[in-house]
């Protein structure tokens, strides 16, 4: 048997797209201190040319047009970079939630919920945290510990099966033994 695979069976390994590479490099370069210095030098050079061109409308139009074009293009590049960073962050947080014992898998992909659903979950956690804080302020450590435990066990509204995968396996093993 040959180790070679048919072209249709070979995994396609794609690198980042041309736009992704361009956006990443441009975003990185635009945040570099030398880029700021270059921008300042362009502005100083433009201002120094003012007397030569008698501060004409054309002289003003050059800087206005240039900055408008650069700003317009940078908005899209920055948005692309933020979208990718946000997606990567959500994936990393989802992996942490999935891997932690006691974490509720139902909290993964909260970014896909409607605003009212997010607000309801947030209100529930705020209420639990406020109860624990009130108990701590009253120096009722037992009640505070109870409220903190409730916070740790809190299940988001509408969640059917919270908990981590490992926690579920542990509970299942415990039921089999008992």
Range of the domain at 116: 105-161
Q: Could you tell me if 76 and 119 lie in one domain? A: no
Q: Could you tell me if 88 and 155 lie in one domain? A: no
Are 154 and 128 in contact, with CB atoms under 8 Å apart? yes
Summarize pLDDT for 93-134 with one digit per residue, the tens. 888 888 888 777 777 878 888 889 889 888 988 888 888 788
- Whole-number pLDDT of residue 160: 46
DSSP letter assigned to residue 7: T
Q: How many separate domains does the chain show?
A: 2
Q: Could you tell me if 48 and 63 lie in one domain? A: yes
Query: What percent of the chain stands above pLDDT 90?
Result: 26
- Calpha distance 82→86 (Å, rounded): 6
pTM for this model (two decimals): 0.55
Q: Could you tell me if 143 and 84 lie in one domain? A: no
- Calpha distance 70→48 (Å, rounded): 21
**Taking residues 28-51, what's their average pLDDT?**
93
Summarize pLDDT for 52-89 with one digit per residue, the tens. 999 999 999 999 999 999 999 999 988 988 998 998 99
Q: Could you tell me if 110 and 95 lie in one domain? A: no
């Amino acid at each position: 048997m040959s180790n070679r695979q048919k072209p249709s069976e070979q995994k396609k390994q794609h690198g980042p797209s041309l736009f992704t590479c361009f956006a990443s490099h441009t975003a990185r370069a635009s945040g570099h201190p030398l880029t700021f210095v270059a921008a300042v030098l362009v502005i100083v050079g433009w201002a120094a040319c003012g007397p030569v061109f008698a501060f004409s409308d054309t002289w003003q139009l050059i800087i206005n047009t240039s900055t408008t074009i650069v700003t317009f293009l940078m908005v899209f590049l920055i948005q692309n970079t933020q979208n990718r960073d946000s997606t990567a962050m959500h994936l990393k947080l989802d992996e942490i939630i999935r891997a932690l014992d006691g974490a509720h898998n139902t909290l993964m992909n909260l970014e896909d919920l409607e605003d009212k659903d997010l607000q309801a979950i947030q209100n529930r956690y705020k209420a639990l945290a406020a109860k624990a804080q009130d108990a701590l302020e009253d120096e009722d450590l037992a009640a505070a510990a109870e409220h903190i435990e409730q916070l740790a066990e809190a299940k988001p509204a509408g969640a059917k099966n919270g908990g981590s995968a490992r926690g579920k396996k542990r509970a299942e093993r415990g039921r089999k033994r008992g």
